[in-house]
Structure 1
Amino acid sequence: MATEREEGDTSGHEIHIECRKIVVPVPTELPAWAIRLRNERRSRLWSQKTMATMLRNAADDETRPSLPSLASIQRYVRAYEASDHCPGELYATLYCRAFGMSHEALFGDDRADPVGLPTEHDAESLGAWIATTNVSSEGLLHLADAAGALAENHSRRPPIQVLADVTLLHDRVQKLLRSGRQRLWQTHELLRIDSDLLSHACLLLGDLERDGSAKAFGRVARQLAQEAGANEARAMSAQAKTARWMGCLTESADLAAEGFRRSPPTSIRILLAYQEANAAALSGDAARARQAIGRAEHAAASAGEDDSISAWSCPVSRQAVFAISVALRNGDPDVALRGVAMADMSWSDAPSPPSTRTTWAQIRIGAGIAYVMKGALDSAAAEIAPMLTLAPEYRIATVTRYLAQLDQRLSQRRFLHSREARDIQGRLHEFKAAALPLHVTEDK
């Protein structure tokens, strides 16, 4: 209570004036993360504008174009240091890069933002997060083209070389999927591309007699296609081939049939029908094989001429390989030889051997088997002679396993005392012995 006399008051009375204490609110202490952001900036003698520049520079080439203006980022810096709101995932990452600190060291466990009304910054940050991606549309197109080019070169280059390139491209796709984030449609496209790559790897591993690894890669390739919402036909074609080489003939035929039902009206549809026919014939189901051959021929007529030599194409020469195999299994060498003539006609303008060396080798072996079935060993020897000069790196399982069938037929009782049969067998064994060793380690 204070006492004072009013100026000009001569009455001698005192006037009592009550003074109330005025309480000034003291700012709440800043959270530790906000203090650290400010102190780390100041320790480097950076202004808030410089901090904004450093945050922008910390973004990768794909993210940087989606960030707001430098002035907007500077406002974010000011707001962060005042703890108006805490950095979201994107800006927290940029801060860590700019300062060279871990997330835990910079933000700790106290980065909880008090519940409040959403701000303009929250909306802008969310928009930036949605637009953030570590791959561009052009990058996706490049990856898809690269995968397609590898499939086109499937028969032109030694499989162990193609497999090395497929593996490198698969690693690039996986790095994108695992090390950043994409828009949803971009993630689906990366998964689809990787499915195609692993399907191709499955084929190549089978060619290199790595059936266990091939089976695993085929299974994952199909899972990727399912996750991407993409067509599974290529993965199922690869799985059908692996199952056939592993002796699971009914499974192979069923996989091919299911793939046929799911496939678009393209060359892969023809391939799948022939795969079913081949597996069915090998299992002794001649009726199913004939039905599948009919579907294959109808699909080929509907699709038109296909000159592609992709891993997923089925040109006339490849159709002939399957037709020959089915005919031989059904005990009809004359039908098989018509298939040989069909393939040779398709190569009439091609160099010898054509670029599809392994397909050409299979045709020659098929012709040799047909002539052995007819007892014409001289014609069989003439058919396989050019194939025996195939470069060692192309002497893959697709060729050598087919060659084993020829060797087996030459061991029949009727050729027991045939010097010509023994001579052909000796050349077959030399051919296989000269194949390059496979520098691929099978998973245990």
Structure 2
Amino acid sequence: MTTAEQRAIAARLKAERERRGWGQRKMARFLRDAVDDPQKPELPSFVTYVKRWESGKVPVTDSRYRTAYAAVFGMDENELFAPDRSAPPSLWRAPALDGELGPDEEERLILAARRPVRADPVVVESLATILAAQRRTEDMIGSAALIEPVRAQLATIQELVIEARGPIRPEVVNVAAQWAQFAGWLHIATGDLESAREWLNRATDWSIEVGDLALTDSITSWKGYLAEHAGHLGPMIGMAQAAQRHRSGPGRAYDLHMEARGHALVGDRAAADRALNAACEAVAAARPADARQWEYYYFAPGFWNLERGVALRYMGRNDPARTQQAIEQLATGHAALPADMRGSEWGGVYLCHQAAAHLEAGDAESAVAVASDALAVAHATSSESLIGRVRRLHRRLADDWPGRSDVAELGEALAAGT
């Protein structure tokens, strides 16, 4: 079985579970109950198995568990575990579309790819719908798995940009800029900062062509986020400020939070406070109408608590009260997120910030517990970058508390890939 086939089966198992509204622990309990073996492992082991199987890194090879899966889902075992039970998927068929893209729209996209001059408003709207779906797909499977599909989609979109002319061209170029921006985000999330910079620069060029100042500022904001990842704090602050020029609503609120983080990182607490206070006002004024279709996460319950929590964590250096506020905001925000976002790669990043805040507050037990949750998300989304964050947390924990058994257990879980 190829790696791609193994991942396809893993995605199928996860999709069937989520379609029924079950969490991984409930799935594990159902599987254990379905296994007819008096020597079967205890429930915690099954929870670990489900996480491994859904990550795509470990196949379900034991016939007992394959049979149990089929019984729990009420499906044929051969069909459930078939390496390729259908024709190759469409380039435009994102897992999170849920019927939003009909066969007629998909056919228009295929025809437009063959003859780019056929691009029309329906094609543009379909591309916008698919982009939003890809963002939701990333929440489910992580950023790394989407790099190649999005590259393939952008190859076609670039042909549309080259060939588009007349009244439809601005619409094509605008949606292409948003796709390039998403590609930039995916590469930031996977740690490929050079590729991220290339895609964000291309997105900027396209947004400038169509004169969409709000989109240009949105891309500038992501360049600030790229600078943050690169450790370039001056450009991070500058880009965050520049991005606010033509942005309103949730985008401006995000930029102000990023500006606050930057000021806090360079030690300018007064500027950080000013930016954070302005961010609160922007959040209060934000409306869904001000967001693009794929910016739905701005209005997820808890999102702004998380953003505020990260800023407070950076402001909390040598300030225990701020650190405690950060912990409260991060914990409250993560708990309030919808289940799919809590288990997303970016949701795991906020868990790492919460674990770091616990560590900085001297609470090793809570730091290890939250870091372990982040590690589970990392494995479920096959996120090497998130695993790297947990590794760095573990090194700090091991330096500060070398004799703790829970710290040692976290290290063992990292080493074992569980």
TM-score, normalised relative to structure 2: 0.62
Establish whether residue 382 from structure 1 lines up as the match of residue 364 from structure 2.
no
Structure 1 runs not aligned, ≥5 long? 1-60, 63-131, 436-444
Match of 1:423 in 2: 408
Cα distance in 2 between the residues matched to 1:380 and 1:370: 8
Conserved? CA contact 1:249–1:282, under 8 Å: yes
Q: Percent identity?
A: 16
Give the equivalent residue in structure 1 for 2:185: 203
Q: 2:382 matched to 1:399?
A: no
**Structure 1 position 172, deviation (Å):** 1.9
Q: Distance in 1 between matches of 2:136 and 2:244?
A: 21
8 A contact 1:271–1:313 mirrored in 2: no
Q: 2:283 aligns with which of 300, 317, 329?
A: 300
1:292-311 deviation per Cα after TM superposition (whole angstroms, max 9, x unaligned): 21222111101158999946
Q: Is the 8 A contact 1:372 1:410 kept in 2?
A: yes
Instruction: Determine the structure 1 residue equivalent to 2:139.
Output: 155
Q: How does 1:21-420 map to 2 (within 5 A)?
A: 133-178=117-162, 180-183=163-166, 185-230=167-212, 231-263=215-247, 265-304=248-287, 310=294, 313-314=297-298, 315-330=300-315, 331=317, 332-347=322-337, 350-351=338-339, 354=341, 356-392=343-379, 394-396=381-383, 399-400=386-387, 402-403=389-390, 406-407=393-394, 409-410=396-397, 412=399, 415=400, 417-420=402-405
Q: Deviations over 1:212-236 (max 9, x none)?
A: 1111211121111001111313311
Shift of 1:354: 4.5
Distance of 2:413 and 2:268 partners within structure 1: 30
With over 3 angstroms needed to count, the CA separation of the structure-2 counterparts of 1:376 and 1:189, relative to structure 1, is same
Q: What is the CA distance between 1:388 and its match in structure 2? A: 2.5
Q: Distance in 2 between matches of 1:149 and 1:416?
A: 43
* Root mean square deviation of aligned Cα: 3.2
Cα 1:417–1:383 change in 2 (3 A) is: closer
CA distances 1:129-173 after superposition (whole Å, capped 9, x unpaired): xxx953222222222222233234332332123333322332222
Q: Secondary structure at the match of 2:245?
A: helix
Length-normalised TM-score, structure 1: 0.59
Match for 1:389: what amino acid? A
Instruction: State the 1:428 CA deviation.
Output: 6.8
SS of residue paired to 1:240: helix
CA-to-partner distance for each residue in 1:377-401, whole Å, 9 max, x for gaps?
Answer: 1222233333332253625366345
CA–CA distance in structure 1, aligned partners of residues 381 and 246 of structure 2: 32
User: CA contact under 8 A between 1:226 and 1:232: conserved in structure 2?
Assistant: yes
Letter in 2 for 1:253: I
Gaps of 5+ in 2: 1-106, 109-115
Q: What's the offset of the Cα at 1:422?
A: 4.5
Deviation at 1:346, TM superposition (A): 1.7
Report the alpha carbon displacement of residue 256 of structure 1 after superposing the two structures with TM: 1.5
CA distance in 1, matches of 2:211, 2:405: 56
Q: After superposition, what is the alpha-carbon deviation per residue over 1:92-127, rounded to whole angstroms, capped at 9, x for unaligned? A: xxxxxxxxxxxxxxxxxxxxxxxxxxxxxxxxxxxx
**Alpha-carbon distance change, 149 to 354 in structure 1, aligned in 2, over 3 angstroms:** closer
Deviation, 1:290, is: 1.7
